[in-house]
């Protein structure tokens, strides 16, 4: 079954009671048992819910995975993964990653004796140098947030497998339509479902997909024990969102190319970070492991000042200044003061997150209108 068909049908059978083609919102906390321990597969909605199960199966299919787990947010999904570890374990992570992930790692789990290393991952050999007997997880974002760095998943997976280390990949920026890390050797894929999978800026959710049965069992135990699960209504909204994922992503990519090409020629733009350019670091890797370059990009201004960025951001009329990304509407953000404010300034700037950096989530509006909006904001 090809992607578009899976997006619409995977995990979603007509309701057996009524024949409803859409998965019902099972807004229930508990389920009646005919005798103690005798039930229809559902006991309590923290553990299982039919609407959530349909979404988990759908997302697993989109990632070519076997097991899907949904959470109340992307951070709850990451929290579940790190809880696989024990004090004394070590994690190797990319140094350019979402600020919320950095905060979770350094401000929460570092307090429990887990050690985190943050390094550039453009070359898998740099990852291999850091692996030791305590390394239990390699954490990859690709493309990264917000510098759009590309990491070779297959090459890092070879390092992980050689050393019996788990490889987790945050696939939020690409979505399953553009990239499938499990097929490249990853053990775990995580998503902020809030973004492209939901696609309409109306739900907050996270997800994990994996293939290994024992690993899935461990993750499901943590999910149930800690309870960070989404509501049935939110699951229903995302099931509606994934049905159009392939169509939306095609338009995000189409608009992304046009916007990136425009910014490339603008006299007030200094650098633009978008993996579709042949000059972008690891562009060849992106061509190999992705089916398109997406609608996420960042750029700096030639006037490298905080005030210059704020002036541009305040002048947009179609691009909305807001946290998040991946919705049908175009969004703009200032990583240094928004999504990555939790990372110390000196650490941010080492990775390129300078005061004039602006991040764009290019939506599915008319590209000419988006370019006109950029033109008036920049000029």
Handedness of CA 165, 168, 174, 180 (dihedral sign): positive
- Structure-token pair, residue 228: 């960070």
Phi-psi category of 104—alpha, beta or left, where left has phi over 0 and alpha has psi -120 to 50?
alpha
Active-site entry in 6, 53, 136, 195: 195
Considering only CA atoms, which of 245, 154, 251 is closest in space to residue 193?
245
The angle formed by the CA atoms of residues 217, 223 and 340, to the nearest 5 degrees, is 120
287 is catalytic: no
- Cα gap 379→374, rounded to integer Å: 8
264 is catalytic: no
- Cα gap 317→365, rounded to integer Å: 13
- Cα gap 339→194, rounded to integer Å: 15
Strand 67-71 vs strand 206-210: parallel, antiparallel, or unpaired? antiparallel
Active-site entry in 98, 102, 177, 262: 98
240 is catalytic: no
Return the SS3 of 193: coil
46 is catalytic: yes
Write out the DSSP string of 103-151. HIIIIIGGGGT-EEEEE--SSHHHHHHH--TTEEEEEEESS-TTT----
Handedness of CA 42, 47, 51, 53 (dihedral sign): negative
Active-site entry in 79, 96, 152, 170: 170
- Cα gap 98→323, rounded to integer Å: 12
Active-site entry in 31, 46, 212, 291: 46
Active-site amino acid positions: 46, 98, 170, 195
């Amino acid at each position: 079954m090809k992607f578009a068909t899976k997006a619409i049908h995977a995990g979603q059978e007509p309701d057996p009671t009524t024949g409803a083609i859409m998965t019902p919102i099972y807004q229930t906390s508990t389920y009646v048992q005919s005798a103690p321990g005798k039930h229809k597969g559902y006991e309590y909605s923290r553990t299982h819910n039919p609407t959530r199960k349909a979404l988990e199966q759908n997302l697993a299919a989109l990632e070519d995975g076997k097991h899907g787990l949904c959470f109340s947010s992307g951070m709850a999904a990451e929290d579940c993964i790190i809880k696989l570890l024990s004090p004394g374990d070590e994690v190797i992570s990319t140094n350019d990653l979402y600020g919320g992930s950095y905060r979770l790692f350094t401000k929460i789990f570092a307090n429990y004796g887990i050690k985190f290393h943050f390094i550039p991952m453009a070359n898998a050999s740099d990852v291999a140098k850091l692996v030791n007997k305590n390394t239990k997880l390699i954490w990859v974002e690709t493309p990264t947030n917000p510098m759009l760095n590309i990491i070779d998943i297959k090459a890092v997976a070879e390092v992980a497998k050689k050393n019996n280390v788990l490889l987790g990949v945050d696939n939020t920026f690409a979505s399953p339509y553009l990239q499938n890390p499990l097929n490249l050797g990853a053990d775990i894929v995580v998503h902020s479902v809030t973004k492209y999978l939901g696609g309409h800026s109306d739900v907050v959710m996270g997800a994990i997909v994996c293939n290994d049965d024992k690993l899935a069992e461990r993750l499901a135990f943590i999910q149930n024990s800690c309870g960070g699960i989404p509501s049935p209504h939110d699951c229903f909204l995302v099931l509606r969102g994934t049905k159009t994922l392939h169509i939306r992503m095609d338009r995000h990519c189409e608009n992304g190319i046009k916007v990136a090409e425009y910014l490339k020629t603008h006299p007030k733009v200094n650098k633009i970070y978008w993996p579709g350019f042949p000059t972008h670091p690891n562009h060849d890797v992106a061509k190999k492991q992705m089916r398109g370059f997406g609608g996420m990009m960042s750029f700096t201004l030639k006037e490298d000042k905080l005030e210059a960025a704020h002036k541009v951001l305040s002048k947009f009329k179609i691009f909305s200044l807001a946290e998040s990304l991946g919705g049908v509407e175009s969004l703009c953000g200032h990583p240094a003061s928004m999504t990555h404010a939790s990372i110390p300034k000196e650490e941010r700037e080492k990775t390129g997150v300078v005061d004039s950096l602006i991040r764009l989530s290019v939506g599915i509006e008319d590209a000419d209108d988006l370019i006109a909006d950029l033109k008036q904001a920049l000029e």
